[in-house]
Structure 1
Amino acid sequence: MCLISQFPETSAYSSFGYIYILEIMANFIGHALPGSFFLLFGLWWSVKFPLKHACRKNKKVFYLGSKAGFQRAEIIEGIVKAVFALIGILGEQFVPSGPHLKLYNYKAQEWDHLMNWQHSTMYLFYGLSGVVDILTHATNVVPVAFDRLMMSLAEFVEGYLFYFHVHGRAMLDVHIHILLLTAIFGTALCFFLEVFCRGNIVLELLRTSLFILQGSWFWQIGFVLFPPSGGPEWDQNDHNNMMFITMCYCWHYAFALLLLAVNYTVVTWVVRIKMKGAKPMEMELLKTSGQEQESEDEI
Protein backbone atom coordinates (compact mmCIF):
# COMPACT_ATOMS: atom_id res chain seq x y z
CA MET A 1 0.00 0.00 0.00
CA CYS A 2 1.36 3.40 -0.90
CA LEU A 3 2.37 5.49 2.10
CA ILE A 4 0.32 8.44 0.90
CA SER A 5 -2.88 6.42 1.17
CA GLN A 6 -2.35 6.14 4.92
CA PHE A 7 -3.24 9.80 5.34
CA PRO A 8 -6.65 11.48 4.78
CA GLU A 9 -7.17 12.98 1.33
CA THR A 10 -6.55 16.56 2.30
CA SER A 11 -3.93 18.81 0.83
CA ALA A 12 -2.12 19.15 4.16
CA TYR A 13 -1.88 15.42 4.83
CA SER A 14 -1.10 14.64 1.20
CA SER A 15 1.76 17.11 1.28
CA PHE A 16 2.99 15.57 4.52
CA GLY A 17 2.86 12.10 3.01
CA TYR A 18 4.76 13.23 -0.06
CA ILE A 19 7.45 14.88 2.06
CA TYR A 20 7.65 11.71 4.19
CA ILE A 21 8.26 9.56 1.13
CA LEU A 22 10.93 11.97 -0.11
CA GLU A 23 12.63 11.77 3.28
CA ILE A 24 12.56 7.95 3.20
CA MET A 25 14.03 7.83 -0.31
CA ALA A 26 16.69 10.40 0.57
CA ASN A 27 17.80 8.29 3.56
CA PHE A 28 17.73 5.10 1.48
CA ILE A 29 19.81 6.67 -1.29
CA GLY A 30 22.13 8.04 1.40
CA HIS A 31 22.97 4.43 2.29
CA ALA A 32 22.83 3.03 -1.26
CA LEU A 33 25.41 5.52 -2.59
CA PRO A 34 28.24 4.60 -0.18
CA GLY A 35 27.19 0.97 -0.53
CA SER A 36 27.68 1.19 -4.29
CA PHE A 37 31.07 2.86 -3.75
CA PHE A 38 32.34 0.06 -1.53
CA LEU A 39 30.91 -2.67 -3.75
CA LEU A 40 32.46 -1.15 -6.88
CA PHE A 41 35.92 -0.96 -5.39
CA GLY A 42 35.61 -4.33 -3.66
CA LEU A 43 34.63 -6.07 -6.90
CA TRP A 44 37.45 -4.38 -8.81
CA TRP A 45 40.02 -5.32 -6.16
CA SER A 46 38.77 -8.92 -6.18
CA VAL A 47 40.00 -9.05 -9.79
CA LYS A 48 42.98 -6.69 -9.59
CA PHE A 49 44.86 -8.29 -6.69
CA PRO A 50 44.61 -11.91 -7.91
CA LEU A 51 45.77 -10.71 -11.34
CA LYS A 52 48.66 -8.80 -9.79
CA HIS A 53 49.64 -11.80 -7.69
CA ALA A 54 49.44 -14.14 -10.70
CA CYS A 55 51.60 -11.80 -12.78
CA ARG A 56 54.23 -11.64 -10.05
CA LYS A 57 54.15 -15.40 -9.48
CA ASN A 58 54.44 -16.32 -13.17
CA LYS A 59 56.60 -13.44 -14.27
CA LYS A 60 59.57 -15.59 -15.21
CA VAL A 61 57.57 -17.34 -17.87
CA PHE A 62 54.55 -15.11 -18.33
CA TYR A 63 54.48 -11.32 -18.50
CA LEU A 64 50.89 -10.05 -18.48
CA GLY A 65 50.96 -7.07 -16.16
CA SER A 66 53.46 -4.28 -15.78
CA LYS A 67 54.38 -1.70 -13.21
CA ALA A 68 53.15 1.06 -15.50
CA GLY A 69 49.82 -0.68 -16.07
CA PHE A 70 49.07 -1.16 -12.39
CA GLN A 71 50.26 2.38 -11.69
CA ARG A 72 47.74 3.75 -14.18
CA ALA A 73 45.07 1.64 -12.48
CA GLU A 74 45.96 3.24 -9.14
CA ILE A 75 45.60 6.72 -10.65
CA ILE A 76 42.21 5.84 -12.15
CA GLU A 77 41.12 4.46 -8.76
CA GLY A 78 42.09 7.77 -7.14
CA ILE A 79 40.08 9.74 -9.71
CA VAL A 80 37.00 7.53 -9.30
CA LYS A 81 37.31 7.75 -5.52
CA ALA A 82 37.50 11.54 -5.60
CA VAL A 83 34.52 11.78 -7.99
CA PHE A 84 32.42 9.47 -5.82
CA ALA A 85 33.29 11.55 -2.75
CA LEU A 86 32.34 14.78 -4.50
CA ILE A 87 29.01 13.32 -5.62
CA GLY A 88 28.38 12.12 -2.07
CA ILE A 89 29.10 15.53 -0.55
CA LEU A 90 26.90 17.35 -3.06
CA GLY A 91 24.12 14.80 -2.57
CA GLU A 92 24.20 15.12 1.22
CA GLN A 93 24.27 18.91 1.11
CA PHE A 94 21.82 19.74 -1.67
CA VAL A 95 18.99 17.22 -1.36
CA PRO A 96 15.65 19.01 -0.78
CA SER A 97 15.88 18.34 2.96
CA GLY A 98 19.64 18.94 3.16
CA PRO A 99 21.53 21.73 4.94
CA HIS A 100 22.72 23.46 1.71
CA LEU A 101 26.14 24.15 3.31
CA LYS A 102 24.48 25.74 6.36
CA LEU A 103 25.93 24.30 9.58
CA TYR A 104 23.95 26.33 12.13
CA ASN A 105 20.35 27.50 12.04
CA TYR A 106 20.41 30.89 13.74
CA LYS A 107 16.63 31.25 13.57
CA ALA A 108 16.00 28.00 15.48
CA GLN A 109 19.19 28.40 17.51
CA GLU A 110 20.39 24.85 16.79
CA TRP A 111 22.78 22.84 14.60
CA ASP A 112 21.42 22.20 11.13
CA HIS A 113 21.20 18.61 9.74
CA LEU A 114 24.23 17.22 11.56
CA MET A 115 23.61 13.74 10.13
CA ASN A 116 24.14 15.09 6.61
CA TRP A 117 27.24 16.91 7.79
CA GLN A 118 28.62 13.69 9.29
CA HIS A 119 28.11 11.87 5.99
CA SER A 120 29.75 14.77 4.14
CA THR A 121 32.75 14.58 6.47
CA MET A 122 33.08 10.87 5.75
CA TYR A 123 33.03 11.55 1.99
CA LEU A 124 35.57 14.36 2.47
CA PHE A 125 38.22 12.00 3.82
CA TYR A 126 37.65 9.49 1.03
CA GLY A 127 38.00 12.36 -1.43
CA LEU A 128 41.30 13.34 0.20
CA SER A 129 42.39 9.71 -0.09
CA GLY A 130 41.62 9.81 -3.81
CA VAL A 131 43.72 12.97 -4.23
CA VAL A 132 46.62 11.34 -2.34
CA ASP A 133 46.33 8.28 -4.62
CA ILE A 134 46.68 10.50 -7.68
CA LEU A 135 49.64 12.42 -6.26
CA THR A 136 51.35 9.24 -5.06
CA HIS A 137 51.24 7.39 -8.38
CA ALA A 138 51.31 10.28 -10.86
CA THR A 139 54.16 12.23 -9.25
CA ASN A 140 57.21 11.61 -7.08
CA VAL A 141 56.17 14.19 -4.50
CA VAL A 142 54.32 11.87 -2.09
CA PRO A 143 55.92 8.71 -0.62
CA VAL A 144 54.29 5.51 -1.89
CA ALA A 145 53.03 4.35 1.52
CA PHE A 146 50.95 7.50 1.99
CA ASP A 147 48.12 6.20 -0.20
CA ARG A 148 47.56 3.26 2.16
CA LEU A 149 47.95 5.47 5.24
CA MET A 150 45.40 7.99 3.99
CA MET A 151 42.92 5.23 3.16
CA SER A 152 43.40 3.81 6.66
CA LEU A 153 42.65 7.25 8.11
CA ALA A 154 39.55 7.59 5.92
CA GLU A 155 38.26 4.24 7.18
CA PHE A 156 39.03 5.18 10.77
CA VAL A 157 37.21 8.51 10.44
CA GLU A 158 34.22 6.68 8.94
CA GLY A 159 34.12 4.29 11.90
CA TYR A 160 34.66 7.10 14.41
CA LEU A 161 31.74 9.07 12.96
CA PHE A 162 29.41 6.07 12.82
CA TYR A 163 30.25 5.12 16.41
CA PHE A 164 28.64 8.38 17.57
CA HIS A 165 26.12 8.38 14.74
CA VAL A 166 23.42 6.30 16.44
CA HIS A 167 23.46 7.63 20.01
CA GLY A 168 19.98 7.48 21.53
CA ARG A 169 18.39 5.53 18.66
CA ALA A 170 16.29 2.37 18.75
CA MET A 171 17.92 -0.97 19.63
CA LEU A 172 17.93 -2.48 16.12
CA ASP A 173 19.16 0.76 14.55
CA VAL A 174 22.13 0.85 16.92
CA HIS A 175 22.89 -2.85 16.49
CA ILE A 176 22.89 -2.81 12.68
CA HIS A 177 25.36 0.10 12.69
CA ILE A 178 27.60 -1.54 15.32
CA LEU A 179 27.87 -4.58 13.04
CA LEU A 180 29.03 -2.23 10.28
CA LEU A 181 31.78 -0.92 12.57
CA THR A 182 33.47 -4.33 12.73
CA ALA A 183 33.97 -4.27 8.96
CA ILE A 184 35.05 -0.60 8.97
CA PHE A 185 37.70 -0.89 11.69
CA GLY A 186 38.86 -4.23 10.27
CA THR A 187 39.44 -2.55 6.90
CA ALA A 188 41.22 0.37 8.58
CA LEU A 189 43.57 -2.08 10.32
CA CYS A 190 44.32 -3.90 7.04
CA PHE A 191 45.20 -0.66 5.27
CA PHE A 192 47.42 0.40 8.17
CA LEU A 193 49.30 -2.91 8.08
CA GLU A 194 49.75 -2.48 4.31
CA VAL A 195 51.74 0.68 5.02
CA PHE A 196 54.49 -1.62 6.32
CA CYS A 197 53.64 -4.81 4.36
CA ARG A 198 52.75 -3.44 0.96
CA GLY A 199 51.88 -6.04 -1.64
CA ASN A 200 50.93 -8.73 0.88
CA ILE A 201 48.26 -10.73 -0.96
CA VAL A 202 46.64 -11.96 2.28
CA LEU A 203 46.09 -8.42 3.60
CA GLU A 204 44.89 -7.25 0.19
CA LEU A 205 42.32 -10.03 -0.11
CA LEU A 206 41.18 -9.60 3.51
CA ARG A 207 40.47 -5.89 3.12
CA THR A 208 38.82 -6.59 -0.24
CA SER A 209 36.39 -8.99 1.44
CA LEU A 210 35.69 -6.44 4.18
CA PHE A 211 35.14 -3.73 1.57
CA ILE A 212 32.55 -5.88 -0.20
CA LEU A 213 30.95 -6.57 3.19
CA GLN A 214 30.71 -2.83 3.88
CA GLY A 215 29.07 -2.23 0.53
CA SER A 216 26.42 -4.94 0.82
CA TRP A 217 25.74 -4.03 4.45
CA PHE A 218 25.12 -0.36 3.63
CA TRP A 219 22.44 -1.57 1.20
CA GLN A 220 21.05 -3.85 3.92
CA ILE A 221 20.82 -0.95 6.38
CA GLY A 222 18.93 1.05 3.79
CA PHE A 223 16.39 -1.72 3.23
CA VAL A 224 15.92 -2.34 6.98
CA LEU A 225 15.62 1.24 8.22
CA PHE A 226 14.16 2.95 5.13
CA PRO A 227 12.19 0.43 3.00
CA PRO A 228 12.09 2.11 -0.46
CA SER A 229 8.95 0.25 -1.55
CA GLY A 230 6.89 1.69 1.28
CA GLY A 231 6.55 -1.73 2.90
CA PRO A 232 6.15 -2.33 6.64
CA GLU A 233 9.05 -1.15 8.76
CA TRP A 234 11.03 -3.52 10.96
CA ASP A 235 10.21 -3.57 14.68
CA GLN A 236 13.20 -1.72 16.13
CA ASN A 237 12.81 -3.26 19.59
CA ASP A 238 12.20 -6.91 18.66
CA HIS A 239 15.03 -9.13 19.91
CA ASN A 240 14.29 -11.71 17.20
CA ASN A 241 15.02 -9.07 14.57
CA MET A 242 18.40 -8.46 16.22
CA MET A 243 19.16 -12.18 16.16
CA PHE A 244 18.20 -12.44 12.50
CA ILE A 245 20.15 -9.34 11.44
CA THR A 246 23.28 -10.68 13.17
CA MET A 247 22.92 -13.96 11.29
CA CYS A 248 22.26 -12.00 8.10
CA TYR A 249 25.53 -10.11 8.64
CA CYS A 250 27.39 -13.43 8.66
CA TRP A 251 25.64 -14.40 5.43
CA HIS A 252 26.77 -11.14 3.84
CA TYR A 253 30.38 -11.91 4.73
CA ALA A 254 30.03 -15.47 3.46
CA PHE A 255 28.78 -14.01 0.17
CA ALA A 256 31.77 -11.64 0.06
CA LEU A 257 34.21 -14.52 0.63
CA LEU A 258 32.47 -16.65 -2.00
CA LEU A 259 32.63 -13.83 -4.54
CA LEU A 260 36.29 -13.27 -3.77
CA ALA A 261 37.06 -16.98 -4.12
CA VAL A 262 35.25 -17.21 -7.46
CA ASN A 263 37.06 -14.18 -8.90
CA TYR A 264 40.42 -15.41 -7.60
CA THR A 265 39.86 -18.83 -9.18
CA VAL A 266 38.73 -17.40 -12.52
CA VAL A 267 41.64 -14.94 -12.75
CA THR A 268 44.19 -17.61 -11.83
CA TRP A 269 42.67 -20.04 -14.33
CA VAL A 270 42.75 -17.45 -17.15
CA VAL A 271 46.41 -16.62 -16.43
CA ARG A 272 47.36 -20.32 -16.50
CA ILE A 273 45.47 -20.87 -19.76
CA LYS A 274 47.24 -17.90 -21.34
CA MET A 275 50.57 -19.15 -20.05
CA LYS A 276 50.05 -22.65 -21.47
CA GLY A 277 48.88 -21.24 -24.80
CA ALA A 278 51.96 -19.05 -25.24
CA LYS A 279 54.58 -20.36 -27.64
CA PRO A 280 58.09 -20.92 -26.25
CA MET A 281 59.55 -18.06 -28.31
CA GLU A 282 56.79 -15.69 -27.22
CA MET A 283 57.32 -16.71 -23.62
CA GLU A 284 61.04 -15.98 -23.89
CA LEU A 285 60.34 -12.54 -25.37
CA LEU A 286 57.85 -11.80 -22.60
CA LYS A 287 60.35 -12.93 -20.00
CA THR A 288 63.11 -10.75 -21.45
CA SER A 289 60.81 -7.75 -21.72
CA GLY A 290 59.68 -8.16 -18.12
CA GLN A 291 63.23 -8.44 -16.80
CA GLU A 292 64.28 -5.30 -18.64
CA GLN A 293 61.40 -3.16 -17.36
CA GLU A 294 61.32 -4.00 -13.65
CA SER A 295 62.72 -6.23 -10.95
CA GLU A 296 60.79 -8.95 -9.15
CA ASP A 297 59.46 -6.71 -6.38
CA GLU A 298 58.44 -3.72 -8.53
CA ILE A 299 54.94 -4.87 -9.53
Structure 2
Amino acid sequence: MANFKGHALPGSFFLIVGIWWSLKYPMKYLNQKGKGRKMNYYYRKIEIIEGGVRVFFATVGILAEQFVPDGPHLHLYNDQDWIKLMNWQHCTMYLFYGLSGLMDMLTFLFPVIPLGLDRLLMSLSAIIEGILFYYHVHNRPLLDQHIHFLLLYTVLGGAISTFIEVFLRDNIVLELFRASIIIAHGTWFWQIGFVLYPPAGGPAWDQTSHNNIMFITMCFCWHCLAAIIIVAINYSLVCGIVNRLKRSSRGEENIGIQKLTSGSHSREALLNDTDEE
Protein backbone atom coordinates (compact mmCIF):
# COMPACT_ATOMS: atom_id res chain seq x y z
CA MET A 1 0.00 0.00 0.00
CA ALA A 2 1.45 3.33 -1.05
CA ASN A 3 0.36 5.14 2.13
CA PHE A 4 1.25 5.51 5.78
CA LYS A 5 -0.60 2.36 6.88
CA GLY A 6 1.14 0.32 4.21
CA HIS A 7 4.49 1.10 5.87
CA ALA A 8 3.30 1.08 9.48
CA LEU A 9 1.90 -2.47 9.16
CA PRO A 10 5.15 -4.25 8.19
CA GLY A 11 7.05 -1.92 10.52
CA SER A 12 4.91 -3.09 13.42
CA PHE A 13 5.42 -6.76 12.48
CA PHE A 14 9.21 -6.40 12.29
CA LEU A 15 9.30 -4.38 15.51
CA ILE A 16 7.27 -6.96 17.45
CA VAL A 17 9.43 -9.83 16.23
CA GLY A 18 12.64 -7.93 16.97
CA ILE A 19 11.63 -7.05 20.53
CA TRP A 20 10.52 -10.65 21.10
CA TRP A 21 13.89 -11.93 19.87
CA SER A 22 15.70 -9.47 22.15
CA LEU A 23 13.91 -11.13 25.08
CA LYS A 24 13.84 -14.75 23.91
CA TYR A 25 17.49 -15.24 23.01
CA PRO A 26 18.92 -13.86 26.28
CA MET A 27 16.42 -15.97 28.24
CA LYS A 28 17.46 -19.05 26.26
CA TYR A 29 21.17 -18.30 26.61
CA LEU A 30 21.05 -17.69 30.36
CA ASN A 31 18.71 -20.57 31.17
CA GLN A 32 20.29 -23.31 29.08
CA LYS A 33 23.60 -23.27 30.93
CA GLY A 34 23.80 -26.66 32.57
CA LYS A 35 20.21 -27.54 31.71
CA GLY A 36 19.17 -30.74 29.99
CA ARG A 37 16.50 -32.03 27.68
CA LYS A 38 13.57 -30.58 29.62
CA MET A 39 14.60 -26.98 28.94
CA ASN A 40 15.28 -27.78 25.25
CA TYR A 41 11.78 -29.25 25.01
CA TYR A 42 10.20 -26.00 26.21
CA TYR A 43 12.21 -23.90 23.80
CA ARG A 44 11.24 -26.15 20.92
CA LYS A 45 7.60 -25.46 21.74
CA ILE A 46 8.32 -21.72 21.84
CA GLU A 47 10.02 -21.88 18.42
CA ILE A 48 7.00 -23.66 16.93
CA ILE A 49 4.59 -21.07 18.36
CA GLU A 50 6.78 -18.22 17.13
CA GLY A 51 6.86 -19.69 13.63
CA GLY A 52 3.07 -19.88 13.64
CA VAL A 53 2.80 -16.24 14.74
CA ARG A 54 5.10 -15.16 11.91
CA VAL A 55 2.99 -17.10 9.41
CA PHE A 56 -0.07 -15.31 10.81
CA PHE A 57 1.61 -11.90 10.45
CA ALA A 58 2.53 -12.69 6.84
CA THR A 59 -1.01 -13.82 6.05
CA VAL A 60 -2.49 -10.64 7.54
CA GLY A 61 -0.04 -8.57 5.49
CA ILE A 62 -0.93 -10.33 2.24
CA LEU A 63 -4.67 -9.98 2.84
CA ALA A 64 -4.26 -6.31 3.76
CA GLU A 65 -2.29 -5.57 0.58
CA GLN A 66 -4.74 -7.44 -1.63
CA PHE A 67 -8.13 -6.53 -0.23
CA VAL A 68 -7.88 -2.89 0.82
CA PRO A 69 -10.45 -0.80 -1.08
CA ASP A 70 -7.90 0.27 -3.70
CA GLY A 71 -6.03 -3.07 -3.72
CA PRO A 72 -5.63 -5.45 -6.67
CA HIS A 73 -8.02 -8.08 -5.21
CA LEU A 74 -5.85 -10.91 -6.59
CA HIS A 75 -5.85 -9.42 -10.10
CA LEU A 76 -2.36 -9.04 -11.56
CA TYR A 77 -3.10 -7.91 -15.11
CA ASN A 78 -5.98 -6.55 -17.10
CA ASP A 79 -6.40 -5.91 -20.81
CA GLN A 80 -4.17 -2.81 -20.70
CA ASP A 81 -1.57 -2.96 -17.93
CA TRP A 82 -0.34 -4.50 -14.70
CA ILE A 83 -2.48 -3.88 -11.62
CA LYS A 84 -1.03 -2.40 -8.40
CA LEU A 85 2.44 -3.88 -8.71
CA MET A 86 3.55 -2.14 -5.50
CA ASN A 87 0.95 -4.12 -3.56
CA TRP A 88 2.05 -7.29 -5.31
CA GLN A 89 5.69 -6.61 -4.37
CA HIS A 90 4.71 -6.18 -0.72
CA CYS A 91 2.74 -9.43 -0.93
CA THR A 92 5.81 -11.20 -2.28
CA MET A 93 7.85 -9.93 0.65
CA TYR A 94 5.21 -11.18 3.11
CA LEU A 95 5.03 -14.51 1.28
CA PHE A 96 8.72 -15.29 1.76
CA TYR A 97 8.70 -14.24 5.40
CA GLY A 98 5.65 -16.44 5.90
CA LEU A 99 7.51 -19.36 4.32
CA SER A 100 10.38 -18.66 6.70
CA GLY A 101 8.02 -18.94 9.67
CA LEU A 102 6.57 -22.15 8.25
CA MET A 103 10.05 -23.62 7.87
CA ASP A 104 10.76 -22.76 11.51
CA MET A 105 7.69 -24.73 12.54
CA LEU A 106 8.57 -27.72 10.34
CA THR A 107 12.19 -27.76 11.53
CA PHE A 108 11.18 -28.17 15.17
CA LEU A 109 8.21 -30.43 14.45
CA PHE A 110 10.10 -32.92 12.28
CA PRO A 111 13.67 -33.72 13.39
CA VAL A 112 14.45 -35.26 9.97
CA ILE A 113 14.63 -31.73 8.49
CA PRO A 114 18.19 -30.33 8.68
CA LEU A 115 18.38 -27.71 11.40
CA GLY A 116 20.06 -24.99 9.32
CA LEU A 117 17.28 -24.79 6.74
CA ASP A 118 15.21 -22.46 8.92
CA ARG A 119 18.02 -19.89 9.07
CA LEU A 120 18.79 -20.36 5.38
CA LEU A 121 15.22 -19.60 4.36
CA MET A 122 15.12 -16.62 6.74
CA SER A 123 18.25 -15.27 5.05
CA LEU A 124 16.68 -15.87 1.62
CA SER A 125 13.59 -13.95 2.72
CA ALA A 126 15.73 -10.93 3.58
CA ILE A 127 17.53 -11.19 0.23
CA ILE A 128 14.19 -11.28 -1.60
CA GLU A 129 13.04 -8.19 0.28
CA GLY A 130 16.26 -6.43 -0.67
CA ILE A 131 15.83 -7.27 -4.35
CA LEU A 132 12.23 -6.07 -4.32
CA PHE A 133 13.01 -2.76 -2.64
CA TYR A 134 16.10 -2.10 -4.76
CA TYR A 135 13.91 -2.00 -7.87
CA HIS A 136 11.00 -0.53 -5.94
CA VAL A 137 12.01 3.11 -6.22
CA HIS A 138 13.51 3.59 -9.68
CA ASN A 139 12.56 6.90 -11.33
CA ARG A 140 11.08 8.20 -8.07
CA PRO A 141 12.06 11.43 -6.23
CA LEU A 142 15.54 11.57 -4.73
CA LEU A 143 14.49 11.52 -1.06
CA ASP A 144 12.12 8.61 -1.74
CA GLN A 145 14.97 6.61 -3.28
CA HIS A 146 17.42 7.46 -0.51
CA ILE A 147 15.16 6.57 2.39
CA HIS A 148 14.39 3.19 0.80
CA PHE A 149 18.05 2.51 0.04
CA LEU A 150 18.86 3.06 3.72
CA LEU A 151 16.35 0.30 4.47
CA LEU A 152 18.52 -2.02 2.37
CA TYR A 153 21.37 -1.75 4.89
CA THR A 154 19.23 -3.40 7.56
CA VAL A 155 18.10 -6.00 5.04
CA LEU A 156 21.69 -6.77 4.03
CA GLY A 157 22.88 -6.94 7.64
CA GLY A 158 20.06 -9.29 8.56
CA ALA A 159 20.65 -11.51 5.53
CA ILE A 160 24.39 -11.87 6.21
CA SER A 161 24.09 -12.48 9.95
CA THR A 162 21.28 -15.02 9.48
CA PHE A 163 23.27 -16.86 6.80
CA ILE A 164 26.23 -17.12 9.20
CA GLU A 165 23.83 -18.68 11.73
CA VAL A 166 23.32 -21.57 9.31
CA PHE A 167 26.83 -22.69 10.34
CA LEU A 168 27.13 -21.07 13.81
CA ARG A 169 23.94 -22.16 15.48
CA ASP A 170 22.84 -20.66 18.84
CA ASN A 171 25.49 -17.94 18.83
CA ILE A 172 24.14 -15.30 21.22
CA VAL A 173 26.12 -12.45 19.61
CA LEU A 174 24.69 -13.16 16.15
CA GLU A 175 21.20 -13.60 17.60
CA LEU A 176 21.32 -10.28 19.43
CA PHE A 177 22.70 -8.57 16.33
CA ARG A 178 19.82 -9.99 14.29
CA ALA A 179 17.35 -8.76 16.91
CA SER A 180 18.77 -5.22 16.79
CA ILE A 181 18.77 -5.24 12.98
CA ILE A 182 15.13 -6.32 12.80
CA ILE A 183 14.11 -3.66 15.36
CA ALA A 184 15.85 -0.95 13.30
CA HIS A 185 14.19 -2.42 10.21
CA GLY A 186 10.76 -2.06 11.79
CA THR A 187 11.26 1.45 13.13
CA TRP A 188 12.63 2.57 9.76
CA PHE A 189 9.47 1.38 8.02
CA TRP A 190 7.58 3.71 10.36
CA GLN A 191 10.03 6.51 9.54
CA ILE A 192 9.44 6.01 5.81
CA GLY A 193 5.71 6.29 6.40
CA PHE A 194 6.10 9.54 8.37
CA VAL A 195 8.37 11.09 5.72
CA LEU A 196 6.62 10.07 2.50
CA TYR A 197 3.02 9.96 3.75
CA PRO A 198 2.70 12.28 6.78
CA PRO A 199 -0.30 11.20 8.88
CA ALA A 200 -3.08 13.61 9.80
CA GLY A 201 -2.33 15.77 6.77
CA GLY A 202 1.06 17.01 7.95
CA PRO A 203 3.32 19.06 5.69
CA ALA A 204 5.06 17.10 2.93
CA TRP A 205 8.84 16.82 2.90
CA ASP A 206 10.83 18.47 0.10
CA GLN A 207 11.86 15.48 -2.01
CA THR A 208 14.79 17.31 -3.64
CA SER A 209 16.35 19.00 -0.60
CA HIS A 210 19.90 17.87 0.14
CA ASN A 211 19.48 18.94 3.77
CA ASN A 212 16.55 16.54 4.11
CA ILE A 213 18.72 13.74 2.73
CA MET A 214 21.49 14.58 5.22
CA PHE A 215 19.02 14.62 8.10
CA ILE A 216 17.43 11.32 7.06
CA THR A 217 20.87 9.69 6.90
CA MET A 218 21.64 10.93 10.41
CA CYS A 219 18.19 9.82 11.56
CA PHE A 220 18.91 6.30 10.27
CA CYS A 221 22.01 6.17 12.50
CA TRP A 222 19.83 7.19 15.45
CA HIS A 223 17.42 4.35 14.68
CA CYS A 224 20.32 1.87 14.73
CA LEU A 225 21.50 3.28 18.07
CA ALA A 226 17.98 3.09 19.51
CA ALA A 227 17.73 -0.56 18.43
CA ILE A 228 21.03 -1.39 20.16
CA ILE A 229 19.86 0.37 23.34
CA ILE A 230 16.56 -1.55 23.30
CA VAL A 231 18.40 -4.87 22.96
CA ALA A 232 20.84 -3.93 25.74
CA ILE A 233 18.00 -2.92 28.09
CA ASN A 234 16.06 -6.11 27.39
CA TYR A 235 19.18 -8.23 27.91
CA SER A 236 19.82 -6.51 31.24
CA LEU A 237 16.20 -7.03 32.34
CA VAL A 238 16.25 -10.70 31.41
CA CYS A 239 19.60 -11.18 33.13
CA GLY A 240 18.29 -9.59 36.32
CA ILE A 241 15.10 -11.67 36.29
CA VAL A 242 16.96 -14.94 35.63
CA ASN A 243 19.53 -14.27 38.36
CA ARG A 244 16.78 -13.42 40.85
CA LEU A 245 14.89 -16.62 40.02
CA LYS A 246 18.07 -18.65 40.38
CA ARG A 247 18.82 -17.09 43.78
CA SER A 248 15.30 -17.78 45.00
CA SER A 249 15.46 -21.40 43.79
CA ARG A 250 18.83 -21.85 45.50
CA GLY A 251 17.37 -20.39 48.70
CA GLU A 252 14.50 -22.88 48.59
CA GLU A 253 16.95 -25.73 48.00
CA ASN A 254 19.09 -24.62 50.95
CA ILE A 255 16.00 -24.43 53.18
CA GLY A 256 15.02 -27.93 52.10
CA ILE A 257 18.51 -29.24 52.78
CA GLN A 258 18.53 -27.60 56.21
CA LYS A 259 15.18 -29.18 57.05
CA LEU A 260 16.39 -32.60 55.96
CA THR A 261 19.61 -32.17 57.94
CA SER A 262 17.81 -31.04 61.09
CA GLY A 263 15.35 -33.90 60.71
CA SER A 264 18.13 -36.46 60.40
CA HIS A 265 19.90 -34.99 63.44
CA SER A 266 16.72 -35.21 65.55
CA ARG A 267 16.19 -38.82 64.49
CA GLU A 268 19.77 -39.68 65.41
CA ALA A 269 19.36 -38.07 68.82
CA LEU A 270 16.12 -39.97 69.43
CA LEU A 271 17.79 -43.26 68.51
CA ASN A 272 20.68 -42.51 70.80
CA ASP A 273 18.27 -41.81 73.68
CA THR A 274 16.47 -45.09 73.14
CA ASP A 275 19.77 -47.01 73.05
CA GLU A 276 20.85 -45.49 76.38
CA GLU A 277 17.55 -46.50 77.99
TM-score by length of 1: 0.82
Asked if 1 retains the 8 angstrom alpha-carbon contact of 2:47 and 2:108, the reply is yes
| Whole-Å separation in 2 of the counterparts to 1:234 and 1:30 | 18
Aligned to 1:260: 231
| Whole-Å separation in 1 of the counterparts to 2:39 and 2:207 | 51
Asked if 1 retains the 8 angstrom alpha-carbon contact of 2:76 and 2:83, the reply is yes
Larger helix percent: 2
TM-score by length of 2: 0.88
Q: Name which of structure 1's ranges 267-276 and 240-249 shifts more when overlaid on structure 2.
A: 267-276
| Whole-Å separation in 2 of the counterparts to 1:196 and 1:111 | 41
1:130 aligns with 2:101: yes
Aligned to 2:206: 235
Q: 1:277 deviation in Å?
A: 2.1
1:32 aligns with 2:8: yes
Asked if 1 retains the 8 angstrom alpha-carbon contact of 2:32 and 2:39, the reply is no
Aligned to 2:41: 68
How is 1:210-225 mapped onto 2 (pairs within 5 angstroms)?
210-225=181-196
SS in 1 for 2:200: coil
Q: 1:122 deviation in Å?
A: 0.5
1:276 aligns with 2:247: yes
| Whole-Å separation in 2 of the counterparts to 1:55 and 1:70 | 10
CA RMSD of aligned residues (A): 1.9
Asked if 1 retains the 8 angstrom alpha-carbon contact of 2:195 and 2:205, the reply is yes
Aligned to 1:51: 27
How is 1:1-299 mapped onto 2 (pairs within 5 angstroms)?
27-57=3-33, 59=34, 66-106=39-79, 109-279=80-250, 282=253
For residue 163 of structure 1, what is the amino acid of its counterpart?
Answer: Y
For residue 265 of structure 1, what is the amino acid of its counterpart?
Answer: S
> Which structure has the larger Rg?
2
| Whole-Å separation in 1 of the counterparts to 2:253 and 2:205 | 61
- Name structure 2 gaps, 5 residues minimum: 257-277
- Name structure 1 gaps, 5 residues minimum: 1-22, 286-299
Over the matched positions of the two proteins, sequence identity in percent amounts to 57
Asked if 2 retains the 8 angstrom alpha-carbon contact of 1:135 and 1:141, the reply is no
Asked if 1 retains the 8 angstrom alpha-carbon contact of 2:22 and 2:235, the reply is yes
